[in-house]
Chain A
Amino acid sequence: MHHVRWTSLSLSLLLVLAVLPAMASQSVTYPAWDALSPAQRDLLIAPLKEHWNSDPTARPRLMQRAQRWQRMTPEERARAHRGFDRWQNMDPGKREAMRALFHAMRDMTPAQRTALQQQWRAMTSAQRQAWVQARTPSGD
């Protein structure tokens, strides 16, 4: 009898604990970034801090990217954000291909870019894979 009571009590407690975060997330609203408290900002950027600390050799690269984000206009940032959403929805193979195409095309003339697009269209899946593998991203 006691056993049954304890089991139902534990289950109820678990249910409450499971529902609480969802309730909290529905009832709490947060302000824009500038109005967040330093503690809230720290919480949000904690993954970035960890990333920064975990690999000292990557820091110059991360810094360049951060500076690039800063230099972007609001319109560019909005576009980059849409591009990031697309990136997030790509599978790893597609990401690798798009990264390689981006790095190959970024310094090309418009004519060269058009030629590469035509070349890409004419390639088979295996040829594209080989083309991508032959080009390791050169970084930023």
Chain B
Amino acid sequence: MNDQQNQHGAVGDEEFDRALRAIHADAVSNLSARTRAQLQQRLRSAARPAPTHRHGWQMASALIALVLVAGAYWRTSMPGAPSPAAVATASADNGDLVAVIDETPDLYLWLDSDEATRLASE
């Protein structure tokens, strides 16, 4: 019984596959020469290996570093399980991530010192 179902299933799949291929061939044959040329060009571009030069590595490592900063910022801003309100605020203010990196982190570290607190209050 199961074998019969599998056989029917296999036959059904083959028919379905054949029908799809026929539709695809029909659609391709109706494309204009210009569209076909464009598609082939895009296919060639997609098949071309991505630039694996130093520049690519630099970009990748830069983005990884930025992701780590974002992670560090996310973790320190929300210790423990975040409350929905805290997450909503953080998501809304993710422009803060840009502000965080706009100054050297040592400035922020210093701003938490007694010296900076005294100077800021004067």
Which residues of A lie under 8 Å from residue B63 when comparing CB positions? Answer: 49, 52
Q: Decide yes or no whether A37 CB sits under 8 A from chain B.
A: no
Q: Are A30 and B87 in contact (CB under 8 A)?
A: yes
Q: Which residues of B contact A82 (CB under 8 A)?
A: 111-112
Q: Does A45 interact with chain B (Cβ within 8 Å)?
A: yes
* Contact call B108/A65, Cβ cutoff below 8 A: no
Determine the distance from Cα of A45 to Cα of B115 in the docked complex, in whole angstroms: 33
The tally of CB-CB contacts under 8 A between chains A and B is 161
User: Which A residues contact B (CB, under 8 angstroms)?
Assistant: 25-30, 32-34, 41, 44-49, 51-52, 59, 62-70, 72, 74, 76-84, 86-88, 90, 94, 98-99, 101-102, 105-106, 113, 117, 120-121, 139-140
A residues near B85, Cβ cutoff 8 Å = 25-26
Q: Interface of B with A (CB < 8 Å)?
A: 62-63, 65-78, 81-85, 87-88, 91, 94-101, 103-112, 115-116, 118-120, 122
B63, B85, B96, B103, most chain A CB atoms within 10 A: B103
Name, among A29, A68, A102, the residue most crowded by chain B CB atoms within 10 Å (CB to CB). Answer: A102
A69 CA / B103 CA spacing, docked (Å) = 11
Contact indicator B62/A59 (Cβ below 8 Å):
yes
- Please give me the residue from chain A that is nearest to B65 by CB atom: A66
Q: Which of B66, B78, B82 contacts A48 (CB 8 A)?
A: B66
A-B contact pairs, 25 of them (CB 8 A): A25-B87, A28-B87, A32-B74, A33-B75, A34-B71, A44-B94, A46-B94, A48-B66, A59-B62, A62-B62, A62-B101, A63-B65, A64-B104, A65-B69, A66-B66, A69-B73, A80-B76, A80-B108, A80-B112, A81-B108, A84-B100, A86-B111, A87-B108, A87-B111, A98-B116
